[in-house]
A and B are shown apart, each in its own frame.
Chain A
Amino acid sequence: MRLKTTLVAAAAAAAFSVGAHGATLDDVKAKGFIQCGVSTGLAGFAFTDSDGNWDGFDVVFCRATAAAVFGDPNAIKFTPTTGKTRFTALASGEIDVLYRNTTWTLSRDVDLKFSFLGVNYYDGQGFMIRKDMGVSSASELDGATVCIQTGTTTELNLADFFRANNMSYEPVPIETNAEAQQKYLANACDVYTTDASGLAATRATFENPADHIILPEIISKEPLGPLVRHGDNAWGDIVRWVLNALIIAEEKGITAANVDSMASADTKDPEIKRLLGVEGNYGEMLGLSSDWAVHAIKTGGNYGEIFEKHIGENTAIGLARGLNQLWTKGGILYAPPFR
């Protein structure tokens, strides 16, 4: 309880001081690096390699933002945040942007006074169950024991889902994903529920992944994306358009390998020209150099390349593109026009 009180007090104090941090873009440019809040560790999304460098799906987006502003993907400092500290860290100005697979909800947007700037991963809550249980649909889960992380939106979604379908369940509360893996493998619960990406990542680490299935039902919408403080519009625009630029780059077939030749060669497509700064003064509008998008794309490639490298089907995480496919290819990934 005390912890909660502290957090509420901190958040309240943060709300009053938001005005003081209005000009993040100027601050960032003055200090010469971006402070990016990431997860303390989530498979595929944020982790440290053996040299101690941060890497992962969310991390690359952060680095691309740094590259767009400074031309250097390493002009960045990472602050690992937990589920409990992420919002206070952002509100207090400890970090400039939070890229920590955070679900965009009304209360976070409005009540906590943050601006969500887009979605870099469309997730949804799913169920994992042992194959030999013979269950093929979530509607057959009546009376199951369910491992569930406490204090998350998934807990509430689970209760809603079972109530709406007139089913009962027995929750097994757990704190972390690691604990859930152990509990689930030790048969302490029949079902494990969390975001589908998390389920896939967890299943990939099992000795016999094929013995477990992820049920087809997705019971919630979890759009995950970056956020900044309210009233930080100039800075927010940059974060938003770096994300959009990487999505447009995939649409137009611009990759880390060919971005330089595309920028110099005489391409026909006017949108590519605008994006890569050959035409127009879009970088200037954002307060950046004209080739900002070139730097951003060179960091880790376009959206599709980043996805495939860190969480795609050829990695241990093995996620299909699904909803995160471009709108032209059956997904809902859709960036506003670059003009």
Chain B
Amino acid sequence: MPPTKNARARRRTLRQILGGVRRRVRRAAGGARSVWRRSLQLQVVTSTLVISVTVVVVLGAFLFDQINRSVLESSRQSSVSEAFADRLQIEDALTPKSDDQSKPSDAGGAPSGNPLDDVMDTVTGSGEDGSKKRYDVLILNPAVPGQSRASGNVVPENIPLTLRLNLQRNGKTVAYIDRVRFPGQSLPRLTFVVGGLVHEPVTGQTYQIYHLFPLDEEEQLLSNVRLAIVVVGLGLVLLLAAIAYLVTRQVVTPVRLARQAAERLAAGKLDERLKVRGEDDLARLANSFNEMAANLALKIHQLEELSQVQRQFVSDVSHELRTPLTTVRMAADLLYDAREDFDPMAARSAELMQAQLERFESMLADLLEISRYDAGAATLDLDPVDVRDVVLRAIADSEALAERHATRFELRLPNEPCMAEIDNRRVERILRNLLFNAIEHGEGRDIVVTVGADRDAVAVAVRDHGIGLKTGEETMVFDRFWRADPSRARTIGGTGLGLAISREDATLHGGWLQAWGQPGEGSQFRLTLPRVAGADLKGSPLPLVPPEIEMRRTWRGHMTPVLLPATGDGAGHDEG
């Protein structure tokens, strides 16, 4: 069904576009959120802006409403009273006078035939000396011919229909504000229309009287007021934002300086201090910070000295122990050589002493080595070496021990030489340590030694299938004198310093030494070294987690299949 497919494709495209947009928006929002979270100044200015806008809008609306109401109300009042006065005048004029003959006409001019004309002249100011009124008047009496009048250019269509109907229905004075377009004018004008009725008692006629008051001036006034309020409000908001910006800058700038100083202090620059200006709270904060930094530096200095003294003590003790130990050794060697002449008890003691003395010696050697590292005196003797040869030599050294434990080595070496600039002796020592360790904890099962290489680095992984490591022990194995099970005896005479020294050796090369282990699955140690000494490592050619374990995990679906060497390296990177 191609259409469905098409539709689906289109939908997918749409979804993709939407997804893209959403991603981008989310990214922008994330960026904004992070900027917002990081800048106190932005937060203060923004909240000031929001609050002041709210306040200004509410106040402005209230103010404008008040002004609007008072202006319109006063105009309304005066208009309604003027309209009322006019209606009274019209009513008076339309009512026939009983003493009409005796009363002389108004001085305004000759009276015309219709009283409506006369009163309109008076009301609209269209008489002889009349002046223009500000409003227009419409008198409607559709029931009688010729009894409707208007001033100006008002026509009956200008009266809002609802007003007319309302007036005719209720008979009460009504008012209406509407935009009225008078004939001959292009734009409608805002007009206040007042409608009222006048009854002529004799003939019973009813006149509708409409007054049209222009509200142009009021509208102009109010729009000016509104403009002024908007401009002033906007100015006020901007002013407040500027004030908030300046004020927070005064506070935030020293805080920012303090943060930078703290960061530098944390990075080890212990002589970092803040400038103290004035006596305010921020100055006191700076003072306290400086005091804290000084105390911290003092303490660190003391601790460093103490550590130095300790290291020196260990080194000194090791050196001092060697001389008596040599003497003891010579004596022990004599005893050992002559053990066959002793009774079995003494002979056994001589053997024991010999063995423990060897262990003591190697421990002393390790201690001296470690103290050299601590003193920073360890140096590398670099040579370009094929790592495969180093591995083979280390295995050869371990063969005897392996045979004793009935352990076999499985070697996985690449065909090409794996050349690297390394200190032959130290790397061999690392590998020997790893192999001894694997034999010791391998419980007689096979030990797999893998060598891998890529453009930048070479790696050696030593895998055993022993009891493995518990969670968290991957790092602790490199601690000095650490032991997985304190009750277990050291069978091959390890000093407890081997892995620690190995790690220092790897670090000295700029490489990594990492461990992986699971209870019941055995463990794997991986040594990664840069091909060129001192180059930064970006990854390892071999995975830290053995491939078969990884595969099993994938099948169980516990993890994503993408567990590449880099991932493991990333985890180990921090430790390295």
Decide whether A and B are members of one complex: no
